[in-house]
Structure 1
Amino acid sequence: MDQDVVLRPLEISDKSVLAKLANNKKIWDNLRDYIPFPYDEKDAEYFINQTLEENPKQNFGIVYQGELCGVIGAILQQDVYRKSAEIGYWIGEPFWGNEIATRAVRLITAYGFNDLNVQRIYAAIFDYNKASMKVLEKNGFQKEGIFKNGIFKNGKLYDEHRFFKLK
């Protein structure tokens, strides 16, 4: 069952599909504001080009049954946090409800521990994104804490739920 979800480097040829999937307010509502909305092919091309320069690779396309359906990353932290990575992910709305995020998080967690050699992986989830919290819990992540009013999104303050997993 897991074989129908794979992570692969993004390619310039992905820009149209990436732009189509990411240009969705329901997705953007759960992402950081540095990701633009509306999201067009120029934004997708810029992001893909950034990922092509990564060494080591930290961002990947999520492919479900041969189709690009989202993006996931394990972003290496700096300085005294250099043995940690923060994961972030999104799945295009047409693909919701297929357990894709759960399987993609399992894959990126293994990549972070085995290939990036981090000791700790964490994720910061917006208070209202219960589905993402379930994805992390299914992968053995534990809630570390709640940052009260830690997020300002769409003109409102929300709590941030921080989850972690150790190698």
Structure 2
Amino acid sequence: MHFTLRPWGSSDLSSLVRHANNAAVARNLADIFPHPYTEADGLAYIEFATSQVPGCIFAIEVAGEAVGSIALHPQTDIHRKNAELGYWLGQSFWGHGICTRAVREVVAYSFHTFDLARIFARPFGTNRASQRVLEKAGFLLEAQFSQTLFKNGEFIDEWVYGVRRETIGPGHTIAGS
């Protein structure tokens, strides 16, 4: 399935809310990603996403519609050569390889654009699909922390995956960046 990574815009509000307002999507994300996901949540997210310079938060577009998001969060202080990667995709688009390809593209773009040595992601231990996305995109499992996250009334494991600059190929660009 073809997709494009591009900046978020105000015209994405209805599709953002439609795809984000899904308990199955929210189940594997930090509590800052609410469920239910309202129009006010969408407006706040688009405002935040469009305030980042240079662009680090991208809409995942399929057939002209924003159906998910992928974001790079550069770290500061002694962690400044690292960035955290996060992503989500509307449930009806799961299983088409979109996230794996989007992760690869953002990793290449990020190493080309930013002075980073490492990009990491922290999927839940229960989220095997996200773990596979990262593994197929070249990330290596670096650590497993038992029962460190508290989500929906229960403790769950946190897994940390990382990829280093020297392990990826030439840089890519992202539409509109």
Task: List alignment gaps of at least 5 residues for structure 1.
Answer: none
Query: Counterpart amino acid of 1:13?
Result: S
Structure 1 residue 5: deviation in Å?
2.2
Structure 1 residue 52: deviation in Å?
1.2
Structure 1 contact 146–159 (Cα < 8 Å) conserved: yes
Tell me the secondary structure at the aligned position of residue 130 of structure 2.
helix
Query: Counterpart amino acid of 1:76?
Result: P
- 1:1-16 to structure 2, matched below 5 A, reads 4-16=2-14
Q: 1:150 aligns with which of 132, 148, 152?
A: 148
Q: 1:164 aligns with which of 162, 165, 173?
A: 162
Q: 1:30 aligns with which of 19, 25, 28?
A: 28
Structure 2 contact 15–65 (Cα < 8 Å) conserved: no
Write the distance in 1 (CA, Å) between the matches of 2:156 and 2:67.
Answer: 27
Query: Counterpart amino acid of 1:75?
Result: H
Identity fraction in percent: 42
Write the distance in 2 (CA, Å) between the matches of 1:68 and 1:47.
Answer: 13
CA RMSD of aligned residues (A): 1.1
Write the distance in 2 (CA, Å) between the matches of 1:82 and 1:6.
Answer: 28
Write the distance in 2 (CA, Å) between the matches of 1:53 and 1:116.
Answer: 17
Query: Counterpart amino acid of 1:83?
Result: K
Partner of 2:45: 47
Structure 1 contact 56–116 (Cα < 8 Å) conserved: no
Moved over 3 A (4+): none
TM-score by length of 2: 0.90
Structure 1 residue 162: deviation in Å?
0.4
Task: List alignment gaps of at least 5 residues for structure 2.
Answer: 166-177
Query: Counterpart amino acid of 1:160?
Result: E
Write the distance in 2 (CA, Å) between the matches of 1:148 and 1:141.
Answer: 20
Query: Counterpart amino acid of 1:131?
Result: A
The verdict on how the C-alpha distance between 1:72 and 1:122 changes in structure 2, with shifts beyond 3 A counting, is same
Structure 1 residue 22: deviation in Å?
0.4
Structure 1 residue 58: deviation in Å?
1.2
Cα offsets for 1:97-131 (capped at 9, x unmatched) = 11100111011111211112311000001011001
Partner of 1:109: 107
Tell me the secondary structure at the aligned position of residue 30 of structure 1.
coil
Structure 2 contact 138–163 (Cα < 8 Å) conserved: yes
Structure number with greater CO (CA < 8 Å, separation at least 6) is 2
